[in-house]
């Protein structure tokens, strides 16, 4: 199945103090450079006095390249104290997947990439076990086995980071990777590490969430995808979902039903990230649809 090639587009993501005239000035700027706006979405946080926007336009006819944009847009950005970044749809984000024993999220992500749903490159899979090697290779993704047992976390992460750099990785996806990353690692990839936690956070953060959900007798179980920060399971939440369970469901049933929502929330988060739909502020995410 070959999806139709999407148009080449540019996307600008902006956040700044909320003031009158931002939309008018930015849209006038884009018009003067002959942009054909395809999508525009904005959000104001009244409490924090913050304005956030995502604008996507067709590049055909647009008369600026990345460098030209930066130069011409600079005065506007200064005037409104903007944080901004420019992205291009034809630049496919480069993503590494970390995995341990459970490979359902890995299999799901690799399939979605292959079916054209995820527009990204996956130059490597890294695992502390070798189980997933055959799966990665079926999808023609190089597999790197970096065991964690007898070596220091520092050594392990040194190897991992070397690989990520070598392959110019911009996004690290923890697809049920059961090791905790060091603060040093996390700091290298701010808002660029996505994890899936197998509970409805903040409920059951930490270890063995399905066991604890089972013991507590909840009637729904959940999964959460979030950006990784130095505080375990406390990063900005990107997506959550739940599935109904009943007294008939044993622990094994929770684990199995949970797999489907883990796949769902992780793949949506990855998709939104690589489509440049997510802005983080105040420890929360805005997901522009």
Strand 94-99 to 121-127 pairing: parallel
Q: Does 37 bind a copy of itself (CB under 8 A)?
A: yes
Contact indicator for 94, 121 with CB cutoff of 8 Å: yes
Alpha helical stretches, state H, 93-196: 104-114, 133-138, 153-166, 183-188
CA atoms of 140 and 211, how far apart (whole Å): 35
Tallying the residues shown for the chain, one arrives at 289
**Nearest distance, CB of residue 116 and a copy of itself, angstroms:** 9
Near a copy of itself by CB under 8 A: residue from 73, 84, 185, 204 = 204
**Nearest distance, CB of residue 158 and a copy of itself, angstroms:** 29
Which of residues 34 and 155 has its CB atom nearest to a copy of itself in the complex?
34
> Alpha carbon 219 to chain centroid distance?
28
**Nearest distance, CB of residue 182 and a copy of itself, angstroms:** 25
Q: Does 128 bind a copy of itself (CB under 8 A)?
A: no
Instruction: Choose the catalytic residue: 15, 103, 108, 233.
Output: 233
Alpha helical stretches, state H, the chain: 22-32, 66-79, 104-114, 133-138, 153-166, 183-188, 209-216, 251-274
One character per residue 96-115, x = contact with a copy of itself (rule: CB under 8 A):
-----xx-x--x---x---x
Q: Is 63 annotated in the active site?
A: no
Q: Does 76 bind a copy of itself (CB under 8 A)?
A: no
Residues 221-260 within binding reach of a copy of itself (CB under 8 A): 222, 236-242, 246-248, 250, 252, 256, 259-260
Q: Which stretch binds a copy of itself (CB under 8 A): 81-89, 156-164, 187-195, 281-289?
A: 281-289
Closest by CA position to 12, among listed 85, 81, 78, 97 = 85
Q: What angle do CA 192, 275, 145 make, to 5 degrees?
A: 45
Sign of CA dihedral 94, 100, 105, 108: positive
* Interface contacts to a copy of itself, rule CB under 8 A: 1, 3-4, 20-21, 23-24, 27-28, 30-31, 34-44, 46, 101-102, 104, 107, 111, 115, 117, 134, 138, 200-204, 216-220, 222, 236-242, 246-248, 250, 252, 256, 259-260, 264, 282-287, 289
Q: Which residues are catalytic?
A: 233
């Amino acid at each position: 199945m070959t999806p139709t090639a999407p148009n080449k587009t540019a996307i600008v993501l902006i956040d700044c103090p909320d003031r009158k005239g931002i939309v008018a000035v930015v849209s006038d700027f884009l018009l003067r450079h002959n942009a054909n706006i395809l999508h525009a979405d904005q959000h104001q946080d009244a409490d924090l006095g913050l304005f956030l926007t995502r604008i996507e336009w067709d590049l055909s006819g647009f008369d600026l390249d990345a460098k030209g944009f930066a130069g011409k847009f600079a005065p506007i950005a200064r005037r409104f104290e903007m944080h901004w970044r420019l992205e291009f749809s034809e630049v496919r984000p480069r993503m590494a997947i970390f995995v341990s024993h459970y490979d359902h999220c890995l299999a799901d992500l690799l399939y979605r990439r292959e079916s054209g749903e995820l527009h990204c490159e996956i130059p490597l899979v890294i695992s502390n076990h070798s189980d997933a090697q055959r799966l990665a290779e079926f999808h023609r993704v190089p597999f790197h086995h970096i065991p964690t047992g007898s070596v220091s976390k520092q050594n392990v992460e040194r190897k991992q980071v070397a690989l990520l750099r070598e392959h110019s990785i911009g996004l690290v996806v923890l697809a049920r990777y059961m090791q905790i990353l060091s603060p040093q690692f996390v700091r290298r990839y701010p808002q660029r590490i996505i994890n899936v936690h197998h509970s409805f956070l903040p409920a059951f953060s930490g270890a063995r969430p399905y066991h604890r959900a089972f013991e507590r007798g909840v009637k729904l179980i959940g999964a959460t995808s979030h950006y990784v920060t130095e505080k375990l399971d406390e990063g900005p939440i990107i997506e959550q979902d739940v599935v109904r369970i009943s007294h008939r469901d044993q622990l094994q049933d929770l684990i199995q039903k949970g797999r489907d929502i883990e796949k769902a929330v992780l793949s949506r988060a990855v998709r939104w990230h690589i489509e440049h739909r997510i802005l983080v502020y105040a420890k929360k995410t805005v997901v522009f649809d």
